[in-house]
Amino acid sequence: MGEPNGESLGPEGGAADGAANGAGNGAANGAASSAGTGAEGVPGASNGTVAEGPQPVARDRSALIEAGATRLAGWSARVLLIALGAVLLGLLIGQLWSIVLPTLLGVIIATVLRPPVRLLIGHRFPPALAAAAVLLAAVVLIGGIIALFAPQVAGQSDEIVSGVSSGIVQIQRWLEGPPFNLGDGQLGALLDQVVAQLQSSATTIAGGVLTGVGAFASGLINVVLAIILAFFFVKDGPRFLPWLSRVAGPKAGGHLSAVLERAWRTLGSFIRTQALVALIDGVFIGIGLAVLGVPLWFPLAVLTFFGGFVPIVGAFVAGALSVLIALVTQGLTTALIVLAIIVAVQQIEGNVLQPILQSRTMNLHAAVVLLAVTAGSTLFGIAGAFLSVPVAAVAAEVLRYLGEQLDKRTVPRAPDPEEPVDDPSPA
């Protein structure tokens, strides 16, 4: 019975087998065709391989330009807001200058007087008595120096201006002759203008040269207020930081305390260093002028000392005055010797004394000093020129602290061992 059944089912079984084989072959061919087609569009997927990692997504150029413009607009807005804040701060300081100036002067005086006060307190002196004694001694000392030297300097200021005018005239005549022949050119006109300005405003220029000596005398109220503030800063200075920490909180107060402590040390060290360097400049340059027989050597030495508190600019102006007066009174040879002495003293100061007396963390680039002095003198006159460098030194110390805090919070990227060292592009 098996044979009839197989014979009867043969045609149907053959048809079923053919259909199954056809469907299987068609599906296999279709899958292979689809896989091959897909592999053509994927890099590295040919010959049965599949690409690994995320594939770059093509972006439209307009989208990239829009993203760049958005970032540029965002940074531009930030810069404008910062500039606006700086302008408003400058205007506010200008309006409150009668308060800001004595406050800054009081802080500077306090940074200089705090070490001897700390020494007296260490010997069981009451803080108020120690501060009053040191401040009174400083006032008597400075007042005695001003009373001793100021009349001599002020009495010879007209001679200094006259000597400078004569020196400029002599330089002009020298430039008019061969080989320069610049008398009829723009330089000759410029020198004529400088000489006329010097001769027409001798009193004003003398007062401007001596402003570093008599800056405190221009406002008696500012002087008295600065001394009173300095007394309180010296006496109660250690109480300020704990109070600030309590008011600002432990986190912000800790940062403010650290910044103010570093700014205090920077300012005190800067002022003491500048005073010592200016004293050395004035003494040695004054000795050189006296040995060479240059008249007015004493007021020139005093001007050199006070000019040392305005780095670069003050030394340049005081040295130029000394050279011009030596040129007029002693001749070209003596003037060149004076120039050599001034350059030698300033080189020793800048390359030997300041690196020894001044720590590395306080160094300011010469361009920063020039810009600070220019901005300070333009905005606030001689007082601004005097205060600009200490303010710049404190601001640089604050920026260093912020940089250190950012470095602590920045996790460096782990180096890729397969990444070439000289390849600056990201992996």
Which residues have C-beta within 8 Å of that of residue 283, sequence separation ≥ 6?
A: 301
- Calpha distance 386→393 (Å, rounded): 12
305-316 pLDDT, tens digit per residue, is 888 877 777 778
pLDDT digits (tens, 9 = 90+) for 110-125: 988 888 999 998 888 8
Question: What percent of the chain has a predicted confidence (pLDDT) above 90?
Answer: 11
What CA–CA distances, in Å, run from 324 to 169, 217, 400, 407?
10, 29, 42, 51
State pTM to two decimals.
0.61
* Per-residue pLDDT at 21 exceeds 60: no
Identify the pLDDT of residue 212: 46
Give the residue, 281 or 208, on which the prediction is more confident.
281
Closest CA to 73 of 105, 249, 81: 81
Cα 3 to Cα 7, 8, 54, 378: the distances in Å are: 6, 8, 63, 121
Q: pLDDT (tens digit, 9 = 90+) per residue, 334-365?
A: 889 999 999 898 888 777 776 666 555 466 77
Position 379 scores a pLDDT of: 81
Whether pLDDT at 205 is above 60: no
Indicate whether 95 pLDDT > 80: yes
| Average model confidence (pLDDT) across the chain | 74
Return the pLDDT at 73.
94
